Amino acid sequence: MISLAGRDIMHAWGKFVFTGMGLGLLIGITLSMAGIYRGMVDDAKVLLDNSSADLWVVQKDTLGPYAEPSSIYDDTWRSIRGMPGVARTANVTYLTMQVRQGERDVRTMVTGVTAGESGTPGWPPYLVAGRQITRGHYEAVADIASGFALGDRLQIRRNHYTVVGLTRRMVSSGGDPMVFIPLKDAQEAQFLKDNDAIHQQQRRTAANPAFNRPQVPGLLDAVIASQSINPYVNAVLVQIESGHRAEDVAESIRRWKRLTVYTRSQMEEILVGKLIATAAKQIFMFLVILSVVSSAIVAFIIYTLTLGKIREIAVLKLIGTKNRTIVALIMQQSIALGVIGFVVGKITATLLMAPIFPKYVLLEPLDSIIGFFAVMVICILASIIAIRAALKVDPAEAIGG
Amino acid sequence: MMGKGILIEGLKKRYGSGDTAVDALKGVNMQVAPGEVVGLVGPSGSGKSTLLKALGAVIEPTGGRMTLGGEVIYDNGWKVKDLRALRRDKIGFIFQAPYLIPFLDVTDNVALLPMLAGIPNAEARKRAVELFKALDVEPRAKAMPSQLSGGEQQRVAIARGLVNRPPVILADEPTAPLDSERALAVIRMLNDMARKFETAIIVVTHDEKIIPTFKRIYHIRDGVTYEEAGEGRSFD
């Protein structure tokens, strides 16, 4: 038996290919949406992976340092370092802000890292060009996605930094490229006020009789001095000694230091389950809408193609064609349309759409396989209306009168 | 051999029920022998199409008896279970317009019927080509329907009606869109095929050009048929 669907497609291949391409663009957008979600999750995991930390010690009862603001004293690391099971500790600050370079500015996550050596928690684990930060001030390592190049001069708040190294896939959970600078500079960028504000504050403090008592010389100077230092960081990153369980060490820090501590799995839950949850729901809704629109388009196309063949279907039924042959004709065409659409969509998503999105788009093979089967199911379901119309055709319609 | 023609006795068809019931066929009697071509003529609303649909097993009569190729297919109820197979194997159809499947080439348009009956593709195509030789369309065997003239399309449609070698062919105004010359050529072809394949052919028509060519004509009026001897005029 010949394939009626195949013959019909070959006869009107242009119509099928162009319709399939239109559907393919929709499928491409759908796959890209899934890729954007995967990219967000991957960005979140990359952020955790690249911090080289086993534990995140943050301000008590906060979801910091990524999902909520967190401030802890910058000498907290010393007491944590001395606890059993702790191999290394490092202060870290994170601040998402615009970084200027010449005439342009780029949204980045400025990360303050402790001086040390490669492998220190918070440091970029590898570079693609240049070197790590070696000076205590005004050097930066930037993610290549920021567009900065070695030797570029960056302006962060009122200070200038020279890019000495470039790294790759170091991004915030929101996909912003990271710029690493020395911790002291980052603290200043995050907590220090501008000169006018400092001057204002000093004047107000001096005008306050509680701080400017004639009988207590030196009090005002002490208060002003305390206002000009910035003893805070966002978190302490902790590496665990081998042989110790992260949860045990975390529990010990929680108990003795009265700080909140997250393990890797808890931090992943915060990032994926809370920080990007709304965006993920948004993308899921887009996926649902796109799937419904794709279904409606396939249904409409197949229904229209079937209506155009009503007389032929009546003749086929009159001359003894089985219903299942007619069902196969319509369903195979619908599936063929889906296959063309999927191939076009996959190519479009991979080669055209993913590279132009500003954020990371991760097209997982498993998503493509699921997408393919989803498209097949959609096409089969979408052909039902057309099949019903075809099966209702009375073979008597082929006979005039 | 192609069987024993068609015999219709007291065939009735009623549409609706109660006060609104309409008797479209009120006891039709017909007999067409193998190799014979008869005309079925009548005005609009006379019951022609209803009779054709009942003979074609696409509507169910409400009474009477039909024998096709020696087999009783209807006797106050269908006597065959698979009407689709009955239409495919025992009844050939030729329509007013050729209604060829536009996405199949000429050969497969004809070979499709035997293929549907389970005959291997090669054998089905061989049968089609044999008919094309008889109908003089063999050179167009690989063409698509849209590439054929109206006359060629109608000949392919005739081949499709004959390809499963049915005992009866129902032709529904097969010459309506054709000029006199082509209309007569089609009727001549039907006569030749009827004789060659011993098929009984019923031609529904109100085409004045071809009515004189039938040796026997059934007139249908108000659901009743009347037989009349035709002129049986030569095609020359």
**Count of beta carbons in the 10 Å neighbourhood of residue A111:** 27
Residue A224 falls inside a structural domain? no
Residues of chain A positioned with their CB less than 8 A from the CB of B172: 399-401
Residues of chain A positioned with their CB less than 8 A from the CB of B50: 401
- Let me know whether A188 and A250 are in one domain: yes
Residue A297 falls inside a structural domain? yes
Percentage of chain A modeled with pLDDT above 70: 100
Domain boundaries, chain B: 6-229
**Which residues of chain B have a Cβ shorter than 8 Å from any chain A Cβ?**
48-50, 52-53, 56, 58-59, 84-89, 93, 95-96, 99, 101-104, 108, 112-113, 115-117, 121, 144, 160, 172-173
- Mean pLDDT, chain A, whole residue set: 89
pLDDT for A341: 92
- Let me know whether A141 and A252 are in one domain: yes
Residue A212 falls inside a structural domain? no
Cβ pair A399:B89 closer than 8 A: no
- Let me know whether A26 and A68 are in one domain: no
Cβ pair B87:A12 closer than 8 A: no
- Let me know whether A287 and A394 are in one domain: yes
Angle of helix A13-50 versus helix A323-347 axis, rounded to 10: 50
- Let me know whether A28 and A144 are in one domain: no
- Chain B within 8 Å of A12 (Cβ-Cβ)? yes
Domain range for residue A326?
4-44+277-398
Residue A351 falls inside a structural domain? yes
Please give the structure tokens belonging to residue B130: 């044999």
Residues of chain A positioned with their CB less than 8 A from the CB of B58: 318, 394-396, 399
What torsion do the CA atoms of B190, B195, B196, B198 make, to the nearest 10 degrees?
110
Residue A216 falls inside a structural domain? no
DSSP A144: G
Question: What is the residue whose two structure tokens read 């491409």?
Answer: A28
Cβ pair B103:A12 closer than 8 A: yes
- Mean pLDDT within B88-93: 90
Q: How many A/B residue pairs have CB atoms within 8 Å?
A: 83
Residue A118 has pLDDT above 80, yes or no: no
Distance in Å, alpha carbon of B88 to nearest chain A alpha carbon: 5
Q: How many domains does the structure of chain A reveal?
A: 2
- Let me know whether A241 and A351 are in one domain: no
By Cβ distance, the residue of A7, A321, A398 closest to B104 is: A7
Residue B233 has pLDDT above 80, yes or no: no
Q: What is the per-residue pLDDT across B9-45, written as a single tens digit (0 to 9) for each? A: 999 999 988 888 999 999 999 999 999 999 999 888 8
- Mean pLDDT within A308-335: 89
- Tell me which chain A residue has its CA closest to the CA of residue B166: A319
pLDDT for B2: 42
pTM over 0.80: no
By Cβ distance, the residue of B58, B121, B144 closest to A318 is: B58
- Let me know whether A66 and A178 are in one domain: yes
Residue A49 falls inside a structural domain? no
- For residue B116, how far is the Cα from the chain centroid? 19
The answer to whether B73 and B85 are in contact (CB under 8 A) is no
- Residues A226 and A222: their CA atoms lie apart, in Å, by 6
Residue A339 falls inside a structural domain? yes
The answer to whether A179 and A140 are in contact (CB under 8 A) is yes
Q: Which CATH number fits domain B6-229: 3.40.640.10, 3.90.280.10, 2.70.70.10, 3.40.50.300?
A: 3.40.50.300
